[in-house]
A and B are shown apart, each in its own frame.
Chain A
Amino acid sequence: MGFAREFKKGLWDEIPVFRVVLGMCPTLAVTTSLENGIGMGLAATFVLVCSNVAVSLLRNTIPDKVRIPCFIVIAATFVTMVDLLMNAFTHSLHQSLGIFIPLIVVNCIILGRAEAFAARNTPALSLADGLGMGLGFTMALMVVAAIREVIGNGTLTVWGSLRWSVPAGYEPTLLMVLAPGGFVTLGCILAAMNSVQARLAARAGVRYDPPQGLDCRHCIGCKPEP
């Protein structure tokens, strides 16, 4: 029961990018093509799952005073391993993601989940949490990336299994694959998510709090899960 619940919350209720508004840097930077989005999402998921399980296993060993450095060492170790493994076995993807793989270390989602969840829960639940949050993050990246790739480049490609391009005559809107396109896409999606969730909440008859960036009321960095 608990396992499924912790897994599911990352996919919708607390989907990292759209709901909790964490992990913005990779969301804006690498989502110029669907392939990059998937690659980044899966790499982050791997790190998140590993670091969550490791933090959870060691949660009684790590002294409270040095927990943040310990979490960072754990995250950095797994990130470096992913970096090396991707360089070895998915060389071209590694080249196109470049600096953003090492930067997973400072992805707030990793440290956020370690601090807010894994440090207080059992390894099994932390695994579910990491998996859910990671896949939620991947889904979010895929949505943003797919929109930007279609409008900005006129294509949609996934390593040979999917090669689609818009009908001839459509002139790709370059802006969408440049930095402003990332902000525009993300803004529109956040607005749509809020609208949908507000309506769902109204139907269920409960109060709805929209995410308001990273203010204290909504940041999960230092607040235990409700």
Chain B
Amino acid sequence: MKESLRLVGVMAAFSLVAGLLLAITHAVTAMPIQEAGKRGKVAVICRALPEADNDPLAETRTVATNWTFHIGRTGGRITGLAFQSSSTKGYGGRIEVMVALSPDGAIRSVEILSAAKETPGLGTKVAEPKFLDQFKSRSARDNAWAKVAKDGGAIQAVTGATISSRAVTEAVRRGLDVFAAHQGDLVGEAVPAKE
């Protein structure tokens, strides 16, 4: 009994010290981690909406409960929108994309934020311009095109990576559907920028 109590005591002391060390490390790194994450996001949005002179990271509108659109303005007028979308149908799980639109709903750019679990050299090629440039200037309004060619759409899948290509296309299409349904709320009103 006495022996077990001693063992429990030692283990408890170990855990306590470990917990303390971790608490200190967490306190030191919490801010840098948050900033690193934010820096990453700022860079992505700046690439998506390069001409915006407001802060698209701060100015957002949320529609359909959880779709957040970042709004880019030039001289107060809305000149672009960007949204993040994802698909769970990638070959290795989740694929995330950032899509930039002009206010009339034409796609300006698509960027892959994460496709790390796709097959290296095959699925990861969906992040290359050769594939992504196919989305450029296509319209959100009529998005029958937004399928890979095999499924009757206009997007040529990356050779050997139909599943990854399909997932990227699906992620883009889901966002476009939301945009098309809420275009009025998102860009219709001529409210001047708050900031």
Contact = CB atoms under 8 A, between A and B. Distances in A.
Contact of B7 (A61, A66, A73, A87): A66
Interface in A140-158: 152-153
B10 interface: yes
Contacts of A95: 116
Nearest to A91: B36
Contacts of B32: 88-89
Interface in A25-80: 32, 61-63, 65-66, 69-70, 73-74, 76-77, 80
A59 to B, nearest CB: 13
A65 B21 contact: no
Size class of the contact patch on chain B? 20 to 34
A172 B121 contact: yes
Contacts of A153: 120-121
B11 A87 contact: no
B119 A84 contact: no
B18 interface: yes
A85 B116 contact: no
A73 B120 contact: no
A84 B121 contact: no
B194 interface: no
Contacts of B11: 66, 69-70, 73
Given A66-B7, A91-B40, A178-B120, A73 B29 contact: no
Contacts of A81: 21-22, 25
B10 A84 contact: no
A77 B29 contact: no
Secondary structure of the B contact surface, majority rule: helix
Interface string B8-22: 001100110010011
A80 B39 CA distance: 23
B29 to A, nearest CB: 4
B22 A77 contact: yes
A174 B36 contact: no
Contacts of B149: none
B47 to A, nearest CB: 15
B118 to A, nearest CB: 12
A73 B120 CA distance: 35
A135 interface: no
A98 interface: yes
A183 to B, nearest CB: 16
A165 interface: no
B42 interface: no
A84 B26 contact: yes
A120 to B, nearest CB: 19
A195 interface: no
Given A61-B10, A69-B11, A91-B40, A174 B120 contact: yes
Given A77-B22, A91-B33, 16 more contacts: A62-B10, A63-B6, A66-B10, A66-B11, A73-B14, A73-B18, A74-B18, A80-B25, A88-B32, A88-B33, A88-B36, A95-B116, A174-B120, A174-B122, A177-B120, A178-B120
Interface of A: 32, 61-63, 65-66, 69-70, 73-74, 76-77, 80-81, 84-85, 87-89, 91, 95-96, 98, 152-153, 172, 174, 177-178
28 contacts: A32-B120, A62-B10, A63-B7, A63-B10, A66-B7, A70-B11, A73-B18, A74-B14, A74-B18, A77-B22, A81-B21, A84-B25, A84-B29, A85-B25, A85-B29, A87-B29, A87-B33, A87-B36, A88-B29, A88-B32, A88-B36, A89-B36, A95-B116, A98-B116, A153-B120, A174-B121, A178-B120, A178-B121
Interface of B: 6-7, 10-11, 14-15, 18, 21-22, 25-26, 28-29, 32-33, 36-37, 39-40, 116, 119-122
